[in-house]
């Protein structure tokens, strides 16, 4: 059941399936979903960064399904440092995560999870990053400080990450080394310049992350 | 089906023997009744178990499903392989609630937790190589 070779037969099956799943409202169904006798391997990459940095755009650029949103109910004491917190006591918040899916092989599925980057949701990250390959930390050079909490988090837990600078049209283009310096990111951590709307640059960022995760993985 | 029928109900465990963080178990909505034998990460794959003919109660679910139509909705969705996150998103239910209900359905033998294929540890080198290869072919 290894379709890694992508034979013409498989290609034919794929296009037929695409037509079948033309409706944007119902998520596309892959072959592995129909076969209940064997489950694929599933793994994930976390996409982190501040509000509006382009996490959902990135996910949508490579996902085979329209990005879905899942919500987690959160109850915890809000922190006084949080600029969104207007109530000092316990708060119940709904945190939304957008995610997408890429079937890499018929028995290998990669999920991409865009996560809220606020400090008070760190406890949720602990849960989300369990078992993940690593994280793409997205940065916008106009609001570079928005990605600081994510960098702090992944550095402190020794989790593989890359920095993906989402270059917005009409803004100053910085070299990767300048961003690296500004962020004090170690030399071994890849810093890539990309455009979240451009699939090839997104794939490139994901490749950089997985290569980096492989570099730091125990032999 | 209730654990109380055969033995004393298990007390909720704050921190399991495997040392998993309690943060993965937002159990407030179900009074801590879940005996969490299943690791349900967002990407964990689950699917319905085809119930044998002679045990219709496994598919119909009886009283539980009338009280909680969400259970039935989950089983319906699970006629195809789904990840935990997909179920939550498609049913517009909070992730924590879906995890608890899935755990119950697994305990009842109505849903199989297939897992991720690599546990909940960081992916090993072989898996990373496969993902790398897959991404290169995109």
Q: C-alpha angle A33/A130/B30, rounded to 5°?
A: 75
Looking at residue A177, what is its pLDDT?
93
Greater confidence, B65 or A144?
A144
**Residue among A26, A27, A36 with most chain B CBs within 10 A, to mutate:** A36
Distance in Å, alpha carbon of A217 to nearest chain B alpha carbon: 7
Contacts of the segment B98-102: beta carbons below 8 A, 24+ positions apart: B98/B74, B99/B24, B99/B25, B99/B26, B99/B40, B100/B26, B100/B27, B100/B29, B100/B30, B100/B34, B101/B68, B101/B70, B101/B71, B101/B74, B102/B38, B102/B40, B102/B46, B102/B74
Q: Does domain A40-216 have CATH number 3.40.50.300?
A: yes
| Beta-carbon contacts below 8 Å between A and B | 155
Q: Which of B81, B89, B120 is closest, CB to CB, to A36?
A: B81
Domain positions in chain A are 40-216
Domain positions in chain B are 25-136
Convert the pLDDT of each residue in A170-181 to its tens digit: 888 999 999 999
**Under a CB-based contact definition with an 8 Å cutoff, are residues A101 and B85 in contact?**
no
Crossing angle of helices B69-77 and B95-107, rounded to 10°: 80
Q: Which of B79, B86, B121 is closest, CB to CB, to A68?
A: B86
Residue numbers of chain B with a pLDDT score lower than 70: 1-37, 51-67
DSSP structure class, residue A121: G
| Antiparallel, parallel or unpaired: β B111-115 and A90-105 | unpaired
pTM: 0.78
* Whether residue A129 has pLDDT greater than 50: yes
ipTM, two decimals, is 0.81
* Whether residue A118 has pLDDT greater than 70: no
Convert the pLDDT of each residue in A77-101 to its tens digit: 544 444 454 444 556 667 788 999 9
């Amino acid at each position: 059941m290894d379709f890694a070779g992508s034979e013409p037969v498989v290609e034919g099956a794929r296009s037929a399936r695409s037509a079948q799943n033309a409706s944007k409202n119902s998520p596309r169904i892959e072959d592995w979903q129909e076969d209940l006798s064997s489950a694929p391997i599933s793994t994930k990459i976390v996409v982190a960064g501040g509000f509006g940095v382009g996490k959902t755009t990135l996910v949508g650029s490579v996902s085979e399904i329209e990005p879905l949103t899942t919500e987690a109910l959160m109850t915890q004491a809000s922190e006084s440092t949080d600029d969104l917190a207007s109530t000092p006591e316990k708060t119940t918040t709904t945190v939304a995560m957008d995610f997408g899916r890429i079937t890499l092989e018929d028995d290998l599925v990669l999920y991409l999870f865009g996560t809220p980057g606020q400090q008070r949701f760190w406890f949720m990250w602990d849960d989300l990053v369990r078992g993940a390959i690593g994280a793409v930390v997205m940065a916008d050079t106009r609001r570079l400080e928005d990605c600081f909490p994510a960098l702090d988090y992944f550095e402190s837990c020794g989790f593989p990450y890359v920095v993906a600078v989402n270059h917005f049209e009409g803004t100053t283009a910085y070299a990767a080394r300048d961003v690296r310096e500004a962020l004090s990111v170690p030399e071994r951590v890849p810093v890539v310049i990309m455009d979240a709307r451009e699939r090839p640059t997104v794939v490139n960022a994901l490749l950089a992350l997985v290569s980096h995760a492989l570099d730091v993985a125990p032999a | 089906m209730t654990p109380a029928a055969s033995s004393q109900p298990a007390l909720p465990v704050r921190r399991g023997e495997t040392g998993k963080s309690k943060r993965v178990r937002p159990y407030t909505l179900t009074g801590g009744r879940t005996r969490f034998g299943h690791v349900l990460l967002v990407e964990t794959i689950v699917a319905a178990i085809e119930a044998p003919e002679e045990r219709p109660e496994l598919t119909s679910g009886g009283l539980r499903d009338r009280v909680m139509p969400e259970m039935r909705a989950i089983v319906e969705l699970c006629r195809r392989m789904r990840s935990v996150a997909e179920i939550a998103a498609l049913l517009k239910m909070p992730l924590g609630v879906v995890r608890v209900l899935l755990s119950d359905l697994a305990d009842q033998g109505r849903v199989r937790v297939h897992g991720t294929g690599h546990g909940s540890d960081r992916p090993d080198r072989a898996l990373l190589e496969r993902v790398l290869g897959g991404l290169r072919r995109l």
